[in-house]
Amino acid sequence: MIGIKFIKAQPNIYLLQYSKGRVIREGVGLAFFYYAPTTSLVAVPVASAEAPFIFQEVTSDFQTVSIQGQVTYRVADAKKLAALMNFTLDARGQKHVSDDPQKLPQRVINVVNVLARAELQKLPLKEAVRASDSLVQTVHKNLVASAEISQLGLEILGLNILAIKPTPETARALEAAAREQLLKEADGAIYARRNSAVEQERAIKENELNTEIAVENKKRQIRETQMDAERAVQEKQHQLEQAGMAAKVVLEDKRKELVALATQNSKAEADARAYGIQTAMEALAKVDSRTLQALASVGMKPEQLIAVAFQELAGRADKIGQLNISPDLLRELMQKKQ
């Protein structure tokens, strides 16, 4: 029939059918026939949507920073949103008759911008460029509690801040300051390392000196111990020498007594021999010299007798005119002498 049309909505489209100012049908993913001249269709997407944003704000020290990120949301109350914004479809039911659906992400971004500005104006530049995590938490919390978001029937699913960057000139200044600070910290680290090396060197030297002192003390103790041992040895040697000298003194005393006794014995023996010789001489004095000579020659060897004969001849040499000695006799005497 003329004017009757069919519409089929996707599962993520909340469809409302109005007729004579009243809602006849509503829901997601509906499919039905309707009479176009008396029906208005409102299609509100309820799927999650991402709205990227980038805007510039001023910090508490009047420095400009740019914030880049995205907010994720979905329509939680499509009927409430449809009452505030125009999501009506055209007569053919294919597209919206206004640009309100394209304005919705910007309205959400504007709320994010306002909340982020309020937080950034509390922070100086150096803190602001490092405050992405804390800024996300604060802005997300305030965004969920925002009255405007609630009135639009939206649900905030997530908020991400990808970067907070200063202007290029400010970034170079910050880099220079950070570079100088890093160089200063590097110089401090080098100084600390050198100072630590000096301290370690000093500790090593002190340990070496303490070791040398300990070694010298040990050497002194060893030397003292050796000297004590040598002193003890010398004392023992002295005692031994004294004992040896005492023994020698006793021995010499014994020898002295022995010599005295031997002298007395020798004197007694000499007196006895002298007495015997004297007695013998007195007895021999009365005997004729020829008799004594004869007695002396008793038991002599032939050569001894010849020697005595020569001695007698020598004693009477003044009375001998000529003496002849045969070579045989001299030869015999010389052989027996050898």
Separation between Cα atoms, residue 139 and residue 275, nearest integer Å: 157
| Structure-token pair, residue 311 | 């001695």
The yes-or-no verdict on residue 159 having pLDDT over 60 is yes
Q: How confident is the model at residue 288 (pLDDT cuts 50, 70, 90)?
A: low
* pLDDT for the residue numbered 30: 92
Separation between Cα atoms, residue 25 and residue 45, nearest integer Å: 16
Pure H helices in the chain: 78-84, 100-120, 125-128, 132-144, 147-151, 168-284, 289-296, 302-315, 327-337
Burial class (CB in 10 A: 0-12, 13-18, 19+), 25: middle
Please state at what angle helix 302-315 crosses helix 327-337, rounded to 10 degrees. 120
| Structure-token pair, residue 298 | 């008793």
Nearest 5°: CA angle at 128, between 126 and 129?
75
| 22, containing H or E segment | strand 22-28
For residue 20, which amino acid is it?
K
> How big is the chain by its Cα radius of gyration, in Å?
75
* pLDDT for the residue numbered 251: 87
Domain positions in the chain are 4-166, 289-317
pLDDT tens-digit map of 223-256? 999 998 988 898 888 888 888 888 888 888 888 8
Q: What is the pTM of this model?
A: 0.54
Which residue shows structure tokens 């950070």? Answer: 178
The yes-or-no verdict on residue 28 having pLDDT over 70 is yes
Phi, psi of 52 (to 5 degrees): -70, 150
Segment among 92-96, 157-161, 324-328 with least mean pLDDT? 324-328
Question: Which residues have a Cβ under 8 Å from the Cβ of 182 and sit 6 or more positions away?
Answer: none
Count other C-beta atoms under 10 Å from residue 80's C-beta: 16
Fold of 4-166: Tetrahydropterin Synthase; Chain A (3.30.479)
Closest to 113 (Cα-Cα) out of 170, 72, 70? 70
* pLDDT for the residue numbered 121: 92
